[in-house]
Amino acid sequence: MLLRRCTLTLLVVLCLGHVLLISSQVQARRGQSVLHATAFGAVAAVQGGAAAVIDGIGRIWSGYVGLIGVSRENEGLRARVLALEGQLQAEQARAAGAAALEVALHLQRSIVAPTLAARVIAGNPKPGALTVTIDRGAADGVAPNMAVISGKGVVGRVIGEPATHAAVVQLLVGKSANTGAVIEKSGVAGLVAGGFADGQLRLDLVSSAANLAVGDRIVTSGQDGFYPPGFLIGHVSQVIGVGKGREIVVAPAVDFSHINVVLVILTRVPQGVEGPR
């Protein structure tokens, strides 16, 4: 049995050797032996596969490097956009400040009483303390209880003793702030008070027979000794209830969340002299 297997193996080896010998002698179409052509084809196939793999890896690497470049370029563009947006906001802030100053100067020329332009430099961080600090003080002629206005309407009044070049202004919407008021169309007097959570004012002490409607202008009466008469406080936004128990809500004319430039009225206007409307 073992002898037969050895004989068979020897026969196979001899046949393969004979075939290889014949292949080395047989010429292919281009003058090469069949063995050489076969070997060359096999090697070429392997080289082609390897080249394809290398080329694919190269394309992947190039794409990866390209993505890194694009990512860095995008980061640079985002940084540039942020810088431009910051510049735009700065320009808008400067433009808003210039516009507010222009309005204040125009208002300053139209008021009979002497006024002083001032910039708001700080707010009070204490919760519920609705005050701002302006960059004018005692050295500029500012004194306690002087009225402060803007191009939109009444802002508030100076409270406490001013510093040399700074003063604190109580905003009209603040707690305990109030002013004598008049319903412009009818001349009915009342008292406007601040300190409400909704940021609106309330018109109190008005006759229950007084005729008023949403949109009516409310102006200062000049009877409180602080604010000159005729300056806009706000407009009636709601009338809740009827008779003596009705609540009159007044939307302030001034946007107290955004105050840049104000005017301090340095002297009290004599009664009978009205400000602009």
Q: pLDDT band at 13, cuts 50/70/90?
A: low
Share of the chain above pLDDT 70, in %: 53
How high is the pLDDT of residue 126?
Answer: 59
Residue bearing the bigger pLDDT, 135 or 45? 135
Name the CATH architecture for the domain at 114-265: Beta Barrel (2.40)
- What is the C-alpha separation between 192 and 199, in angstroms, rounded? 13
**Residues 107-124: what's their mean pLDDT?**
75
Average the pLDDT over 34-44 and give the result: 51
Structure tokens at 88: 């735009």
Residue type, 239: V
Q: What is the pLDDT of residue 203?
A: 95
Helix (H, G, I), strand (E, B) or coil at 44: helix
Give the range with max mean pLDDT: 118-122, 150-154, 249-253: 249-253
Q: What would the mean pLDDT of 260-267 be, rounded to a whole number?
A: 86
DSSP for residue 113: S
Residue 28 binned pLDDT confidence (cut-offs 50, 70, 90): very low
pLDDT for 271 beyond 50: no
| Residue 94 banded pLDDT, cuts 50, 70, 90 | low
Contact by Cβ (8 Å): 134, 148: yes
% the chain with pLDDT above 90: 31
The owner of tokens 């009978």 is 272
Whether 21 has a pLDDT exceeding 70, the answer reads no
Burial state string for 69-86 with b = 16 or more CB within 10 A and e = fewer than 16: eeeeeeeeeeeeeeeeee
Name beta bridge partners: 262.
118
230 CB-contact burial (10 Å; exposed 0-12 / middle 13-18 / buried 19+) = middle
Q: Is the dihedral of CA 130, 136, 137, 142 positive or negative?
A: negative
Among residues 178, 171, 232, 168, the alpha carbon closest in space to that of 205 is found at 178
pLDDT at 18 over 80: no
Give me the chain's average pLDDT, please. 74
Residue range 134-156: mean pLDDT, rounded: 92
Q: What is the pLDDT of residue 65?
A: 56
> Average of pLDDT values for 17-42?
50
**What residue ranges do the domains of the chain occupy?**
33-110, 114-265
pLDDT (tens digit, 9 = 90+) per residue, 179-209?
999 999 999 999 999 999 899 999 999 988 8
What percent of the chain is helix, strand and coil (3-state, nearest 5)?
40, 25, 35
